[in-house]
Amino acid sequence: MTNTVGQSRLASLVVALVVALAIVVVLFPFLWIFLASIKPASVVALPDVWTFSPTARNWNDVLLGSDVPKNILNSLIVSVVTVSVALFTGAPAAYSFSRYKTGAGFRFTILAAEMMPPAILILPLFLILYQLGLIDSLMGVILAHLTFVVPVITWFLIGFFDDVPRELEDQAMIDGYTRFQAFYKVILPAIRPGIAAAAVFGFVLSWNDMFYALILTGGESKTLPVAIAGFWTFRGIDMGKMAVAILIAVVPILIVSFFIQKHLVRGLGGGAVKF
Amino acid sequence: MSLRYRLILPLTLLLAAVMAYPLVFSAWISLHDYRLTRLYDVRFRGLDNYLYIFGDAPFLKAMTNTLMFVAGAVSLELVLGLGLALLLQRLVRFQNFARAVLLAPMFITPIAVGLMFRFMLSSELGVIPHYLRLMGLGVDWFSADLALFSLMLIDAWQWTPFMLLMFLAGLEALPRSPFEAAKVDGASPWMTFWHVTLPMLRPVILVALIIRALDAFKVFEYVYAITRGGPGDATEVILFHIYKTGFRFFRMGEAAAMAFILIAITLVLVVILYSAMQRK
Amino acid sequence: MNRLCKWSLTTLMTGTAAVMISGASLAAELNIIIEEVPDYDIVKKLTEKFEAANPDIKVNFDAMPFDAMRDKILTSSLAPSATYDVIIVDNPWMEEFSRAGYLTPLDDFIKADEGYKYDDFIKAVADVGVVDGKTYGVPYYNYALGLIVRQDIFDDKGIEVPTTLEDYVSVVKELTTDDFYGAAMQPQKGYKIMEEWKNWLYAEGGELFDENGEVIINNDAAVKALDMYIDTYNTAAPKNSLNWGFDEALRAVSSGKAATMLSYNWMLPTLNAKGGMSGDLAGKFKLYEVPGGKAALGAWFWGIPANAEDKDAAWKFVSWITSPEVAKERVIAGGAPVRTSVINDKDVWEKGFGKDYYTTLQGILEDAAPLATGPHAEELIEIVGTELSAAVSGQKTVKEALDAAANGVKRTQ
């Protein structure tokens, strides 16, 4: 609030009203989808029904009588494994980029990798995975997700490493640590919030992907976003059930993302912008 | 090997395996008549795929649509994001709450966003057209003229929060003194914004624009969920076109060539955008 | 990671494993890819009987939406060991998959199978499964297009249900008022508009190719058919329905907003079901042949991949599910018929949806031609379907759109 100039009550009110309107625009779709998930089948397709006797039928059908729980598990496995691999490979590299200013070329490569359109990778990935017998496997989706999660997480961490004062590391080495020990015993713990934010952000990216998963998965390894798309079928949209699946995919992500909002900007800047 | 390179080694190996090798393979595919249904008969075509695509009306249309979508959606998000950031900064109470809510859409899976809006904007079952009709406005959101614009609006719903996030941080980091000086000089809020805030925000705007634009080139889910590229080819975007060519028609060679052309075009745009912003 | 690989490897290897374990007892596990449609529910139920009669064979269905099927079938077919032992093939894919060598010729199986009565399949349908003289698919169910009308409205107004396209156009215009429409249409790009407009094209005497294989999708007949289609969309179809597919059109008819639609013949029972989607309107719908009489034919076929492990077990299932006896049970349960004997069975009439329906259906099927043929039919449908949609939405003139469609089709050949 550095540049807030004194404003009149009227101005404050106008600001509050506009922000409130924006909040309504953001929240309304969630509200409508939630209502759709508890509406009886007879009124779900009617655009003007606000009062009805709620039913848990859609929730029951989806949670107990469909493949959605399996899709959730698939999505979870894919996201967690992808993020773990990305952290193990990305964190040391990001440290190296940050501390040694290792070749601008490398840094640029990471950025270029982050920008790579999926269209160019999906064709060869599909063919390679087919040759490896990994179509319709979680392994295949994980490999595909690594292509965008690894660069993002690495880029993300560079910014956080840049913020660690050099003295911290020098002190550790005076205390008898080797440089590598200093890295994982002193520096890594120092940027723990940054790592957590990077991990959550990578998780969100992987969890939300539909493009790769649509092409690479089948009945066995289908992830949640692909399953959601499948509710729009030949028989028509089963709106109620689709609403449930959407909420299941969205709500947990909203909750975890809430905790990383603060760190997101630092990470996305990746050392390219100083705020 | 020194530590600095040992630290990079795992990443280098991983990216070589999952990115560099596929890229080279993709380049090889783009030079061949590579069809999934004729794997026994893959013929070298040289640059024919590329030459063909440059004269292919559906590809050019998809590229035009994508460029329009990127330009439209990203500028919309830039303006809305900047406006909201300035407003939010002046919000007296509930600032943290408002920020948390307003940022929410950028975290959710785009296919869910697409399906939500398909449902809400449907001319028959949609809640939005229904109430617009009651107000006397019959809008066909997915007509040939409006469909691409509607997709931009949906994109803006989801990604304006990203701009907001960047600009809020940018505004918070601005030094105080130029604003105080402007106040002493009796500058109007508009002049302060135009001559002080905006120039100082330029680096943030540049980064936000580039990240968003590159991301907007990947638009797929809204099209997949709602229009399938229609009516006609009004919303056929490049990623959807490549998906169809490669995985519905199995013409992998042409699809790969399209992807490389896409990369070239995005790179050119990034360079133009970057140098334009630097020069000012 | 090992555990993760296993998830997929189990699927990939069930075939192999089953064969290895079996050795002595000839046990088999059949993985079948299938589309999630009403007919699948019936097939799934019936299969319980098959498994009871064949305890050594286990059947697993991998049901998925249409969009997901094509590349899954393809990957399975490319792999050294098939994921799927039995697949279903949509009629536009028949030549493509057969020519690519993905499918096993079934002629020897059919010949050796006594009582199978292959000739009993309705010829127009069965012929789609024959490519270059070999039978690669046997019919699963048909989705030929018919004209579904609100009989009560026609009766009240004393209007005859039209049999020519010209009459149809003038009747639906006449029925249209401010909030009621003569025809619910499905001009969505791709398959949907193609399924609908192809009937108009036939009514005007047009086709995709002439007898020499030349593309004639932009000749005078096609121009006239598209002109009429667009005129009807603008004057007699619900407003803002440019992106409507089958689903939205059906909802308009079932909720009493429209009097007619061209749709899959087997939607009639769904519309007429008591307590179903039509509410009080149930029972008021009737099926006719499409105006002009020649319908666009869609059909699904059972096929056995060339790389399937146990083709004998696969044929055992395919032959069983399509046999005259089981086909009859399937149709009585609501499935779409493909056998002449079943359509003419009194038992089917009584337990099913009445003689009228099946007689009309037979009329439709006898004079129906496939939606699209050739090794690139999928792409052809998409190309033509896109141009048609561009013409209906006003992005292109009729002639421009059809010329572009013709060029696109030529290029795929």
DSSP track, B21-72: HHHHHHHHHHTEE-BGGGTT--EE-TTHHHHHHHT-HHHHHHHHHHHHHHHH
Residue C280 has a pLDDT of 87
Is the model's pLDDT at B231 over the cut of 60? yes
Q: Partners for B (CB, 8 Å, 3+ pairs)?
A: A, C
For the entire predicted model, the pTM comes to 0.88
Residue A275 has a pLDDT of 46
User: Does A62-269 carry CATH code 3.90.1150.10?
Assistant: no
pLDDT tens track for A107-123: 777 777 877 889 899 99
Question: Percentage of chain A with pLDDT > 90?
Answer: 43
Tell me which chain B residues have a C-beta less than 8 angstroms from the C-beta of A46: 125
Residue C15 has a pLDDT of 43
Instruction: Give the chain A residue nearest C249 (alpha carbons).
Output: A236
- More confident: C7 or C299: C299
- More confident: C203 or A110: C203
- Residue B105 per-residue DSSP state: G
C92: number of CA atoms within 13 Å, CB side? 18
- Residue B226 per-residue DSSP state: I
- Nearest partner of A157 among A256, A87, A104, A108, judged by Cα: A87
For residues C189 and C210, what is the distance between their CA atoms, to the nearest angstrom?
24
Residue A272 has a pLDDT of 52
Average pLDDT over chain C, rounded to an integer: 90
Q: By the CB < 8 Å criterion, does A138 face chain C? A: yes
Is the model's pLDDT at A233 over the cut of 90? no
Residue B36 has a pLDDT of 84
The domain spans of chain A are 9-55, 62-269
Tell me which chain A residues have a C-beta less than 8 angstroms from the C-beta of B204: 273, 275
Is the model's pLDDT at C7 over the cut of 60? no
**pLDDT grade for A236, boundaries at 50, 70 and 90:** low
Write the class of the CATH domain C2-142+299-355.
alpha beta
Assess contact for C82 and C15: CB atoms under 8 A.
yes
Tell me which chain C residues have a C-beta less than 8 angstroms from the C-beta of B147: 243
Joined tokens for residue B163: 């701009």
Residue C19 has a pLDDT of 42
Assess contact for B80 and B163: CB atoms under 8 A.
yes
C347-369: average pLDDT: 94
A156-175: average pLDDT: 87
**pLDDT grade for B1, boundaries at 50, 70 and 90:** low
Residue A136 has a pLDDT of 82
Most confident of A55-69, A181-195, C167-181: C167-181
Interchain proximity C8–A140, CB inside 8 Å = yes
Burial of C183 (C-beta count, 10 Å sphere; 0-12/13-18/19+): buried
Burial of C255 (C-beta count, 10 Å sphere; 0-12/13-18/19+): middle
Is the model's pLDDT at A273 over the cut of 60? no
- Amino acid at the residue C31: N
For residues B194 and C369, what is the distance between their CA atoms, to the nearest angstrom?
67
Interchain proximity A215–C7, CB inside 8 Å = no
Is the model's pLDDT at B147 over the cut of 60? yes
Instruction: Give the chain B residue nearest A201 (alpha carbons).
Output: B107
For residues B242 and B255, what is the distance between their CA atoms, to the nearest angstrom?
5
pLDDT tens track for C67-121: 778 888 887 887 777 889 999 999 999 999 999 899 999 999 999 999 999 999 9
Interchain proximity A99–B26, CB inside 8 Å = no
For residues B134 and B143, what is the distance between their CA atoms, to the nearest angstrom?
20
β-strand partners of C285 = C150
CA distance B234 to chain A (A): 20
Residue C1 has a pLDDT of 39
Assess contact for B126 and A47: CB atoms under 8 A.
yes
Is the model's pLDDT at C302 over the cut of 50? yes
Residue B169 has a pLDDT of 87
For residues C72 and C84, what is the distance between their CA atoms, to the nearest angstrom?
9
Residue B276 has a pLDDT of 75
- Site from A17, A19, A98, A157 to mutate, B interface, most B CB atoms within 10 angstroms: A19
Q: By the CB < 8 Å criterion, does A232 face chain C? A: yes
Write the class of the CATH domain C145-297+376-412.
alpha beta
Helix axes A138-162, A118-131, angle to 10 degrees: 130
Is the model's pLDDT at C3 over the cut of 80? no
For residues C287 and B99, what is the distance between their CA atoms, to the nearest angstrom?
57
Closest partner residue to B142 (CB to CB) among C242, C382, C392 is: C242
Which residue intervals of chain C bear CATH 3.40.190.10?
2-142+299-355, 145-297+376-412
A227-249: average pLDDT: 80
Question: Percentage of chain C with pLDDT > 70?
Answer: 94
Assess contact for C300 and C35: CB atoms under 8 A.
yes
- Nearest partner of C140 among C126, C120, C123, C124, judged by Cα: C126
Average pLDDT over chain A, rounded to an integer: 86
C253-266: average pLDDT: 92
**pLDDT grade for C11, boundaries at 50, 70 and 90:** very low
> What number of other Cβ atoms are within 10 A of residue B17's Cβ?
13
Q: Partners for A (CB, 8 Å, 3+ pairs)?
A: B, C
Q: By the CB < 8 Å criterion, does B245 face chain C? A: no
Is the model's pLDDT at A151 over the cut of 60? yes
- Site from B249, B251, B252, B254 to mutate, C interface, most C CB atoms within 10 angstroms: B249
For residues C17 and C25, what is the distance between their CA atoms, to the nearest angstrom?
13
Q: Which CATH architecture best describes the domain B56-279?
A: Orthogonal Bundle (1.10)
**pLDDT grade for C384, boundaries at 50, 70 and 90:** very high
For residues A183 and A169, what is the distance between their CA atoms, to the nearest angstrom?
8
Tell me which chain C residues have a C-beta less than 8 angstroms from the C-beta of B151: none
C312-328: average pLDDT: 96
Residue B177 has a pLDDT of 87
Interchain proximity A133–C71, CB inside 8 Å = no
